[in-house]
Structure 1
Amino acid sequence: MRFLATDEQEAFAEAVDELVQDHGGAAVAQQWASGDHTAGLALWHSFGELGLAGLRVAEAEGGLGGSAADLAIVFERLGYHAAPGPYLESVALLPRLVDDEARSALIGDGAIATASVEGLAPAALDPDIATHRFAIGDGWIAPAVEFERIESLAPVRRLGRLVPGARTDLDVDQLAAALDEAALASAAMLLGAGERLLAEAVGYAKIREQFGKPIGEYQSLKHQLADVRVALSFARPLIWSAATTFDSSTRARDVSAAKIAAGDAARLAARTSLQVHGAIGYTAEHQLGLWVTLVPALASVWGTAAYHRARVARSILSA
């Protein structure tokens, strides 16, 4: 079992990084959070040209035919940059659930799809800029006829409650696989966000001085940062394992274990990074807030920690 990215996967990840940087880096997410979608929509269009929308769509249907591991690679980078927009819904969730005509439209140029899922993600992300909106429930999917804006913990995640229209039945196994794919993508995003928070903390610890020397030289701070490094490094192989065994009978257990570990590690990274930055980290102007607020928001959707721990427990007890 290979737990390392291939050359092709690393190249795709680098392409994601370059596109985000070319469009402004963290400023894209900051502008999106303030209500200015210009840079974010330009980035979405560029990702569309890269083929990201069809990452998990078969080549015969016009997609890239990527694996679950490809998905994890890409969404880690999206989390690292706090890339705004319903990428998870468009790329990981919906392609499995919509019909052929809708799938072709979703991977077309300019399409932006979002969705809500009863119990797991009750509010849809960015319904105001989406061209396609879907409400999903227990065994059904429906196009949304309207939405109501609601407040979000993370400014970069602009949410709305969808009102479903006519419902279409879904295959139970197909729905379960799509929801697990969304949970895997969210775990990868949490890992990427955690890595960015650690990088920001380490970088700041090298330049912020106290009592005549950088705070990063103090042993207690080194221990805190090392704890974050360990937590993230332990979460990564769980995500890789879930991705490489996604089509096996252990999918649900493996995805849940990955989501739990990534959520715990990212929360630790957020708390530690905020402490390292001190008062400056609490200001709305500092970009650290993008990830500090994104992490708890992502950890609570696509299955809370309690939900995923229960799934792991059921798997163990039924073995």
Structure 2
Amino acid sequence: MEFLLSDVHDDLASSVDALLTKADVPTRARAWIDGDRGPVTEVFAALADTGVNGLLIDESSGGSSAGATEMVVAMEQIGRHALPGPVVESIAVLPVLFRTADITGERLGALAEGTFGTCAIPPVSPLAPVADVAYLVRDGALSVATIGDAQATVDPTRTLAELLPGDVLADGVAIDDAVDIGTLATAAQLIGMGGAMLTLAADYAQARKQFGRAIGSFQAVKHHLADVAIAIEMARPLVHAAALGIDGLVPEDTDVRRDVAAAKVAAGDAAHLAARRALQVLGAIGYTTEHDLSLYLTKTRALLTSWGTPASLRQRVLESL
């Protein structure tokens, strides 16, 4: 299969990157940690104005009727800047879940306009990031939910909570498509985060000097960072291929759920390697909350098990062989 991003995809990636770069997301993430979510909410609303939040929402409900390919392009850039909040649930999972349940109108329109939404789909995703509105799917019933007791996680910008069911919106709702899009969106985030950590490490390696030389000139450091670059570049095509599968642009006998699982495993491995190697290069400064790398380290750890643990996804791949 040959897959090349078009100029439209490149423009989308550039637009999202430029918006988030100008917004100085790390500063806003630290405000989120301190309890002020307003600065991040402003950025999320700005993304909505560019159409990112409505990529998977039909035009009739305020979206752009785009596909999974466009979504992963945007989510990679969102991951590159470590934007806090339930972005996977708002941009990917809920639009597909509502489409599956044949729900249209105001609920989708609110997501397209930048409302933070969240959802839980046990057992794959039993807890949900705290957000403005919440939904729960249990035993095939999709219901409006209220947020229970919040739980801190390894990522200080990611607070999870159990959802309590309320009014039922639909029964007999299939969850596979919503779970798969959540898995794929998380994989795209991890690719972006891995790339950002590689950049942070490479920049530091060029600036930090030992024995009168930049540490980036040492062969051992070069090999460490080259391993990360290879892992990311090998994982990205798997994410794009899985997106094509979800969009229905692959042969009919393609096991799309297997491809989604493989993409998340590869992306998670690449991001985990990037985190480890970046921390090795930066040393103790990378642990400090003052350094941006710390935001990526904790978020990487949190997202590795979000929307499918590595073990469960590897098991899915194994069962498909």
Whether TM exceeds 0.5 here: the answer is yes
Match of residue 162 from structure 1: 163
CA contact (8 A) 1:53 1:106 kept: no
Q: Percent identity?
A: 39
Match of residue 144 from structure 1: 145
* TM, length-normalised to structure 1: 0.93
Aligned residue for 2:142, secondary structure, equals: strand
Shift of 1:157: 1.2
User: Counterparts in 2 of 1:198-277, with a 5 A limit?
Assistant: 198-246=198-246, 247=248, 249-277=254-282
Cα deviation 1:263-317 (Å, max 9, x = unaligned): 001000000001111010111111111111111111111000111111111111x
In structure 1, C-alpha distance between the alignment counterparts of 2:299 and 2:162, rounded to whole Å? 19
Shift of 1:93: 0.5
CA contact (8 A) 2:55 2:91 kept: yes
In structure 2, C-alpha distance between the alignment counterparts of 1:149 and 1:171, rounded to whole Å? 27
Shift of 1:50: 1.2
In structure 2, C-alpha distance between the alignment counterparts of 1:105 and 1:56, rounded to whole Å? 12
Matched to 2:124, the amino acid is L
Match of residue 173 from structure 2: 171
In structure 1, stretches of 5+ residues that fail to align are none
In structure 1, C-alpha distance between the alignment counterparts of 2:141 and 2:61, rounded to whole Å? 23
Q: CA RMSD in A?
A: 1.6
Match of residue 293 from structure 1: 298
CA contact (8 A) 2:117 2:134 kept: yes
Match of residue 112 from structure 1: 116
Shift of 1:195: 0.4
User: Counterparts in 2 of 1:172-187, with a 5 A limit?
Assistant: 172=174, 175-187=175-187
Match of residue 22 from structure 1: 22
Residues 145, 107 of structure 1: alpha-carbon distance in 2 compared, 3 angstrom cutoff: closer
CA contact (8 A) 1:238 1:258 kept: yes
1:100 to 85, 104, 107: 104
The more displaced of 187-196 and 94-103 is 94-103
Cα deviation 1:47-80 (Å, max 9, x = unaligned): 1111222111122433111111101101000100
In structure 1, C-alpha distance between the alignment counterparts of 2:138 and 2:292, rounded to whole Å? 35
Residues 36, 2 of structure 1: alpha-carbon distance in 2 compared, 3 angstrom cutoff: farther
In structure 2, C-alpha distance between the alignment counterparts of 1:91 and 1:105, rounded to whole Å? 12
Residues 204, 220 of structure 1: alpha-carbon distance in 2 compared, 3 angstrom cutoff: same
CA contact (8 A) 2:93 2:181 kept: yes
Shift of 1:2: 4.2
Match of residue 309 from structure 1: 314
In structure 1, C-alpha distance between the alignment counterparts of 2:273 and 2:138, rounded to whole Å? 32
Aligned residue for 1:133, secondary structure, equals: strand
Aligned residue for 2:94, secondary structure, equals: helix
CA contact (8 A) 1:94 1:178 kept: yes
Asked whether 1:279 is paired with 2:280, we answer: no
The more displaced of 111-120 and 303-312 is 111-120
In structure 2, C-alpha distance between the alignment counterparts of 1:45 and 1:226, rounded to whole Å? 37
CA contact (8 A) 1:97 1:170 kept: no
- Report how many residues are paired: 311
* TM, length-normalised to structure 2: 0.92
CA contact (8 A) 2:12 2:74 kept: yes
In structure 1, C-alpha distance between the alignment counterparts of 2:301 and 2:36, rounded to whole Å? 23
Match of residue 37 from structure 1: 37
Aligned residue for 1:265, secondary structure, equals: helix
In structure 2, C-alpha distance between the alignment counterparts of 1:137 and 1:298, rounded to whole Å? 22
In structure 2, C-alpha distance between the alignment counterparts of 1:143 and 1:54, rounded to whole Å? 20
In structure 2, C-alpha distance between the alignment counterparts of 1:110 and 1:205, rounded to whole Å? 38
Cα deviation 1:221-268 (Å, max 9, x = unaligned): 111111111111110111111011223551100000000000001000
Cα deviation 1:64-99 (Å, max 9, x = unaligned): 111111011010001000011211111110112231
